[in-house]
């Protein structure tokens, strides 16, 4: 491989790596925002501020899926609500 081709390949790899790094950072930010919003809904359900059906509707999932996700995140639907 010639020196010019090697330099071009290294520069391209560096630029591509930086671009992919930014894509990954943005994906992480978006995932964090979603997780925060989901946890807020879980907290409101656990505190009895909103009904599980309303939270599930906002998340576009079933109530049983909401219950499973809440449990995985350390939240619980209050007894007698379901």
Per residue in 24-71, pLDDT tens? 999 999 999 999 999 999 999 999 999 999 999 999 999 999 999 999
Q: How confident is the model at residue 1 (pLDDT cuts 50, 70, 90)?
A: low
61 is written with which tokens? Answer: 């999932």
Judge whether residue 78 has pLDDT over 80.
yes
Q: Look-up: residue for tokens 């807020």?
A: 40
Report d(CA 78, CA 35) in Å as an integer: 21
| pTM, full prediction | 0.75
pLDDT of res. 9: 85
């Amino acid at each position: 491989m010639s020196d010019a081709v090697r330099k071009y390949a290294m520069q391209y790899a560096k630029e591509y790596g930086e671009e992919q790094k930014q894509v990954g950072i943005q994906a992480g930010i978006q995932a964090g925002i979603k997780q925060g919003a989901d946890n807020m809904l879980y907290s409101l359900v656990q505190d009895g501020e909103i009904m599980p059906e309303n939270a599930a509707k906002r998340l576009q999932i079933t109530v049983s899926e909401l219950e499973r996700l809440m449990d995985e995140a350390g939240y619980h639907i209050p007894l007698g609500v379901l």
